[in-house]
Amino acid sequence: MTQQPATATPLSKEMQDCVQACMACHSVCEETMSSCLQMGGPAQMQIMRAVMDCAEMTRMCADMMMRRSPLSAEMCAMCAKACDMCAEACMSMPDDTQMMRCAEACRRCAEMCRSMSAATM
């Protein structure tokens, strides 16, 4: 069995930025889920599904990039799609500050993930 080098090549600046955007989006999505639960109602349940999907995808995407998974580019593409869907769902409540924070974090993450999905990782 061959031994791996003690230190791995550091993540590129673009990948680090994408990981940070994913983790920031994940955090805001978690906060937004709590907000949706407090509001209740069928409209919030629809939004919550998108927020939950986005929270899971962003966390998984960041994890896969950090461990340099060969599936990272594909995961980034899926993550961008989940973020777009979440941003759209959150935009259905434009007067809610938390929803607008979530939509903005999702838009930023989607943009970063789209860029990474096109890059060679």
**What's the whole-number mean pLDDT along residues 24-48?**
87
Read off the pLDDT of residues 83-121 as tens digits, 9 standing for 90 and up: 999 999 999 999 999 999 999 999 999 999 999 998 765
Question: What is the domain count for the chain?
Answer: 1
Spell out the residues 6+ positions from residue 76 whose beta carbon is closer than 8 angstroms to its own. Answer: 18, 61, 65, 113, 114, 116, 117
Question: Nearest to residue 20, comparing CAs of 100, 117, 108?
Answer: 108
pLDDT at 27 over 90: yes
Domain residues for 43?
13-119
Q: Is residue 87 part of a domain?
A: yes
Residue 39: phi and psi, rounded to 5, are -75, -40
Q: Is residue 75 part of a domain?
A: yes
Q: Is residue 5 part of a domain?
A: no
Question: What is the model's pTM?
Answer: 0.88
Read off the pLDDT of residues 38-73 as tens digits, 9 standing for 90 and up: 887 776 788 999 999 999 999 999 999 999 999 999
User: How would residue 3 be classed by pLDDT, with cut points 50, 70 and 90?
Assistant: low
Q: Is residue 27 part of a domain?
A: yes
Read off the pLDDT of residues 5-14 as tens digits, 9 standing for 90 and up: 555 678 889 9
